[in-house]
Structure 1
């Protein structure tokens, strides 16, 4: 591909995203597939990557490939050791170089970040943080990164000071898809008022979660609780319980939620209801911005 300078890769558990990049930072092409870490062995990664980018590679010479995410996990392509908090978002100088059979690939996997006490880890989110700090380098506060495993990250002086991870999204999926509540929840639809009431309930009485969840089933059977309302209440109860535990991160802090819709919007509404006054920042291509920041450090060394 004429003008190809480097390749950015976000290799998650379930998906692979690839950007073919020009030297001026423009995107020549984007590719995405479902060949995430969860479906691969270490021997599969180079083949899968070449299936996505092989046609764009030059006949000779090396193309830098900068990778973040689960490709660097113990079960991934090659384990990239964690950086330890407090630390800046890991740079390319800390990346792990991967040997490849195709000499045209110069693959480097960025490390994640670990926290010893309380024990916590992230892979991929550190690159989102780098992308955010590329546009707000003076930020001092807390980032909320909504997702299957929601993260609260304290940032100060461009460093990740501490962070906590909550399995709220995964719990929602497990309870909604495998428990008795699967018969009472809708796949879509929403009830804002019910969601905010449930957030308040989850914060006020987190120990009653098991009882409150079964009440959703009972109300659907006895009182015609709508599937959309049940879905909103399940989400609200789980997020409310999370907000209680994460209060030291968001109370009185400058809080930024990465994302503007979907689950990010739900966190915005829940935080607003607690008087936290969060602001949202678009998460579109924020991982690419973080990977680009890493590539810039490679250019500086040449």
Structure 2
């Protein structure tokens, strides 16, 4: 496959990359994620972003929520343990003959607890393409952070934690929003809060309201409050996922800001993660899917 298009279509964002083999030719992004579209809107939305890239029939490999039940076409889930691209691609019916769209499968876990992922499996494929002998845990921070046990080129098991969504909800929809505006971050208070939540995760709910009181009574800054909140939530997450990262080789793949936070939190606990950029891993993962049926 020489010329093709990589598409990462999430809940809130559509990202498209024009590829020549494995070389990036162009990138585009739009705020037209799955949540804003009905099924019949996906094809015209994609064409509106990439129409001038299409000189003829062009392979388009897509991952993310585009393959959800509410997406363009539902892509099957592969059951772990399996390779990241554990089943064949789902072909999408299109009206425009220039589009040859296929969606990568998600992953599902039936036990020891029910879990699913869409999009992260592609980043995992990219991680294993970069580190083919990796045996350890991939941490994929985001709205729903994934902790993924990888061994012998397969996803063995995984765990999802809603830390990112909790942070967004607390800062945007609770009484704490009045004390947590802005986007500042201070690593010192963050690390202290991580340690506190790791040692006493049962106090999390009580610690949250302290952020409001500290603002009202002591003039605590929003940057301090956001740093402490982030530390408390990530610390509670690390307490819940301790078996995944303690004594393990860990790779973090996420956006620069979330990667920085998880890297600092894990380093404070004696773990030295390797960091791999999420966008690059997504492209590498989609490239591994080119030859799948």
Band the TM-score falls in, shorter-chain normalisation: over 0.9
1:34 counterpart = 2:31: yes
Match of 1:288 in 2: 283
Partner of 1:256: 251
Partner of 1:48: 45
For structure 2, the residue ranges without an aligned partner over 5 or more in a row are: none
Larger radius of gyration: 1
Matched, 1:166 2:136: no
What SS does structure 1 have at the residue aligned with 2:271?
coil
Match for residue 218 of structure 2? 223
Superposed displacement of residue 81, structure 1: 0.8
1:85 pairs with 2:83: no
Name the CA distance, whole Å, in 2 between partners of 1:27 and 1:260. 19
Structure 1 position 177, deviation (Å): 1.0
Partner in structure 1 of residue 6 of structure 2: 8
The aligned counterpart of 1:102 is: 96
| 1:127-166 correspondence to structure 2 within 5 Å | 127-166=122-161
8 Å CA contact 2:5–2:58 kept in 1: the answer is yes
Measured in 1, the distance between the counterparts of 2:106 and 2:237 equals: 23
1:21 is aligned to 2:19: yes
Name the CA distance, whole Å, in 2 between partners of 1:195 and 1:28.
39
- Native 8 Å contact 1:20 1:28 kept in 2: yes
Looking at structure 2, the residues matched to 198 and 86 of structure 1 have their Cα atoms a distance apart, in angstroms, of: 35
Deviations 1:200-232 (A, max 9, x none): 111122111111111111111111212111110
* TM-score scaled by length of structure 2: 0.95
Alignment of 1:111-130 (within 5 A): 111-117=105-111, 118-130=113-125
For residues 4 and 45 of structure 1, what CA distance do their matches in structure 2 show? Answer: 25
- 1:103 is displaced (CA, Å) by 1.7
Q: 2:203 & 2:18 partners in 1: Cα distance?
A: 50
- What secondary structure does 1:52 align onto? helix
Aligned residues: 292
Q: Say yes or no: does 1:74 pair with 2:72.
A: no
Taking structure 1 as the reference length, the TM-score comes to 0.92
Cα distance change, pair 40–4 in 1 and its aligned pair in 2 (3 A):
farther
1:105-134 deviation per Cα after TM superposition (whole angstroms, max 9, x unaligned): 111111110111211111000000111111
State the Cα distance separating 1:176 from its structure 2 match. 0.9
RMSD: 1.6
Structure 1 moving runs of 4+ over 3 Å: none
Q: Write out per-residue CA displacement over residues 242-293 of structure 1, whole angstroms, 9 at most, x where no aligned residue.
A: 0000001001100111147312111111111111222222334221111111
Offset from partner CA, 1:40-72 (integer Å, 9 cap, x none): 1111111111112222222x5x22111111110
SS at match of 2:205: helix
- Asked if the contact 2:171/2:181 (under 8 Å) is kept, the reply is no
Question: What is the rounded CA distance, in whole Å, between the counterparts of 1:229 and 1:264 in structure 2?
Answer: 19
| Contact kept in structure 2, 1:260 and 1:281, CA below 8 Å | no
Greater mean alpha carbon deviation, residues 103-112 or residues 3-12: 3-12
For the residue of structure 2 that corresponds to 1:94, the secondary structure is coil
